[in-house]
Chains A and B, each alone.
Chain A
Amino acid sequence: MDVPETPDSDFRRSYRRTLVRRMAFIAGCVVLCLLVMAYSITLGTYPITMSEVYHVIWDAILNIPQDSTDYWVVVDLRLPRIIGAIVCGFALAVCGTAMQSILKNPLADPYTMGISSGAGFGAAVALILGVELVAGGGVVVNAFVFALIPMAVILLMSRVRRATPTMMILCGTSLMYMFNALTQLFMIVADPDDLSNVYNWMVGTLEHLSYENLPLIILVTVAGSLVVQLMASRLNVMGTGDESARTLGVNVDKERLLLLILVTVVAATVVSFTGVIGFVGLVAPHVARIIVGSDNKYLVPAAGVFGALLLLLADMASRILANSVLPVGVITACIGGPVFILLILRSSKEAWR
């Protein structure tokens, strides 16, 4: 090309400006996460002061053996929940971002794709009917297996004919309705104890997270997010349309399915342990998109840290407002909904069409 090099063109300057804004958002969310975490760990029903909390943590870091209720409350009760909020928030947001980009649909998230409802149905089968798919696997294995069903149906469908993004999301949504209806049916015949367990599960809670299941969730989240991050430019290209993506070197039909399977597994893992935490997967990508734009290279980590912050705040709110009685899923939806609508109304630039 015969145009001379212009290292300081308008484009280069605005490219650098955008980069700074994106990094600032990500860094800001990380700092806020740390602050909220530091404060959140001091909250709870058990009377223990802030300095005592940090004393316990300091001793734990120095590996000084401790045997007190304080230690148990802080390290075994509160910490896993806080770590869980961060990891699950991050995972759900990354999954939501990837699904929205893969399916080119602003409504795509683990909920509308039927993953959460599938998990809910699986949990209901275990809790009410007492049927375990794997003996001893309990609610978690049931939830995980049923959460994968919508993706399996989409895969089967794609063998019969070419599966377009719209078909995929409609398929996921129909299965969501089916699973929800079946779960409701079970709940009618359930006895009150089981009912309350299922109910608890349906609204999502971080209560069941512990040092036993967190390593698995963290592993799946980190591995899945890394792959999504590595595929970020591919997601951008896929967003320009199928034909256009093919001519840019992306085998869209194949890669769309592979990526969808990957994020389905990540989302299914998370919701199998926490139950249906709605809204984070839908809202975090949109909020991040308003600020960092649609380039998935930056959107994926930005939405991830924002999702972590969101769930952390929701968990903190549930502990301040209602002594943990309110499930975190209720808070994310109740506070997230209005805030999101406000954001949509106030955002000057449209982040989506």
Chain B
Amino acid sequence: MTELVVTDLTFGYGDDPVLSGVSFTLDRPELVCVIGPNGVGKTTLVKCLNKLLKPNAGSVTLDGEDVLGMRLMDLARKMAYVPNRMDQVFRTTVAETVLMGRFPFAQWANSDRDLDVADRAMGALHIQAISDRDVSELSSGQLQKVLIARGLAQEPRVLILDEPTSNLDVRHQMEVMGFLRDYARGNGIIVLMVCHDLNLTAAYADRVIMVSDGGIYADGSAWDVMTESNIREVYGVDSKVIDAGGRPHVILFAGGGE
């Protein structure tokens, strides 16, 4: 099983630290959600893992190999990143976009296997029927699925997603979360995502990392992390956590108080 170890990660812009001394280990095939209020460094944290940002101190290792010292191309064969939007200027089809996930393996021509992998990635997300549509014409839900399929086409050991559900309606949110959880378990990979929605996280995450003020505030199962006191401390809001079919469910109170 793949092992991603983060040790004493520190990152800051100038003298302004965003993350300090963050450590955790991911070594099980599961869906891990990073939650926390705006501006605490959730996205910064995941971007430090795949060299999108260069940490000031600390280390990230993937199966014992130092990630920060790896070539981008080697890293892309092991770790995929799903952005939450795409800034494409020229017309690009869904199939072309998904096939780009094969780029780390085939820099020149696409082999039959590349086409197979892309085909299966599209099949897994049920987007084969729109394979020759222009990505700019898609709804945000469809586009998110295309970008996830591109990530899967990289056949990564670690899949990192930045708020993949932020622009989706409830049904698509649940579909994507359920898919990612099952995919992680079924294919033995680590799926790490930044998530804003407490209840989606509570319903689907195998593990929750709660970030607050540049550090990890709580780390564990949804029941362990998503408690009324943690939510009050980190988000500054009052809530009640109830049991909804075996998973925690957070009910927020308006007006902030008893």
Contact = CB atoms under 8 A, between A and B. Distances in A.
A162 interface: no
A325 interface: no
Interface string B47-66: 10011100000000000000
Name A's interface SS. Answer: loop
Contacts of B123: 1, 3, 6, 9
A351 interface: yes
A18 B119 contact: no
Contacts of A352: 89-91
Contacts of B71: 249
A3 B126 CA distance: 11
A14 B86 contact: no
A3 B122 CA distance: 10
Interface in A309-351: 349-351
A332 B128 CA distance: 42
B118 interface: yes
A226 B81 CA distance: 31
Contact of A14 (B104, B107, B131): B131
B108 A230 contact: yes
B135 to A, nearest CB: 9
B103 A15 contact: no
B91 A11 contact: no
Nearest to A290: B91
Interface in B109-164: 109, 115-124, 128-129, 131-132, 134, 136, 152, 154
B108 A10 contact: no
A248 B90 contact: no
A11 B100 contact: no
B93 interface: yes
B94 to A, nearest CB: 9
B76 to A, nearest CB: 4
Interface residues of B, number: 54
B96 interface: yes
Nearest to A250: B72
Given A5-B116, A18-B132, A246 B51 contact: yes
A6 B116 CA distance: 8
Interface string A293-318: 11101000000000000000000000
A63 B117 CA distance: 55
Q: A105, A241, A251, A351: which has the most chain B beta carbons within 10 Å?
A: A241
Interface string A98-115: 001100111000000000
A249 B104 CA distance: 6
Given A248-B101, A248-B104, A351-B91, A10 B83 contact: no
Given A3-B124, A249-B103, A289 B90 contact: yes
Interface in A140-198: none
A233 interface: yes
Given A247-B80, A249-B72, A293 B91 contact: yes
9 contacts: A9-B119, A11-B118, A14-B131, A18-B132, A104-B90, A248-B100, A289-B91, A297-B109, A352-B89
